[in-house]
Every structure is written in structure tokens, then in C-alpha cells.
Amino acid sequence: MGAIELRDRLSKFDMPLKNWSFIAKERASNFADVIKPDEINIIDFLEVHDEFYKIGGLIKDIYDNLHKGVAIVAIQKNRGSDYGLGGTRSLEKARLYLAMEPNCLKIIKGKNWTGVQNPNGLAIDFKLVQGCKFISESDWQR
């Protein structure tokens, strides 16, 4: 998205625009080239229009440029599918893989989880307010 759209989206949060501290970079490809290896990187979204099988390679390129950092990568998916475009190829490098449908968030794969309960397959219902506020409407359930 462009600067104006980003500003409009951020203004909906309960935090003044002057308090946001990050450098946004507008691009549609070569995301691995701008990864900050030790920071939080958000890619909204990894845009692929054809050759969806290449998504796994694009995600691997991003992963390979990380050191201590984290990359949050959004990819489009077909409604009703647990996997983004590119299918299970998009799952390989992910440490946490979430799928969203209207009003529902599901943990498809959580790797390296701690605790007693395996989180894979858990889902929670939510309501989205102003496009940025998630309000839970259920407990986590299978």
C-alpha cells in the first residue's frame, strides 16, 4: 500500500500517528532484499499472481536473510482453504502458520510450541472493529 493508505490505516489504532516508529517500504517484489535480519519485518502481503508453487522459494529467501529477527508474511488464500496460495509449500519455513476466515482465526501449524496442549488445529472466533481491533468471541477450541 502507499503512504496515504498506510497513514489512514494506522490512524484507526488507539495510538497517535507520531508514536509509530518504523520505516515503511513500498514494494511488490524482492522482499528478501529489504529484510532487516535482527528486527521485526512485516510483509503485507507477498503478492504472487501466477506460478504459485514459487511461494515456498520466496519465503525461503526471506527466511535466509533473517538472523535474530522475525518476518510476518501475509499471503492470500482461497476461502475455505487452510493454506495460502502455493499450498503446503508456504508452510515449510513458517514457525507459526495462521489461517483467517471472516470472524475465525485458526492455528494451522505451531512449531517449537511449549506447554501441555498442542496448538495445531485450535481456532478462535473474533469480531473485527475498525479494521484493526480483534475482539475474541469464543475461547480457543478444536
pLDDT tens-digit series, residues 102-136? 999 999 999 988 878 899 999 999 999 988 899 99
Residues 124 and 54 reside in one and the same domain: no
* Amino acid identity for residue 102 in this structure: P
Tell me which residue range forms the domain holding 110.
Answer: 96-142
CA torsion sign for 76, 95, 30, 88 is: negative
Question: Do 117 and 140 touch, CB atoms closer than 8 A?
Answer: no
Say what the pTM is.
0.87
Total domain count for the chain? Answer: 2
Tens of pLDDT, residues 57-88: 999 999 999 999 999 999 999 999 999 988 89
The verdict on 60 and 127 lying in the same domain is no
The answer on 123 and 75 residing in a single domain is no
Give yes or no: residues 69 and 100 share one domain. no
Please indicate, yes or no, whether residues 29 and 11 belong to a single structural domain of this protein.
Answer: yes
Among candidates 141, 78, 73, which has minimal Cα distance to 107? 141
Residue 54's contacts (CB-CB under 8 Å, 6 or more residues apart) are: 48, 86
Query: Are residues 58 and 41 part of one domain?
Result: yes
Distance in angstroms (rounded) separating the CA atoms of residues 77 and 99? 8
Are 68 and 103 within one domain? no
Same domain? For 87 and 17 the reply is: yes
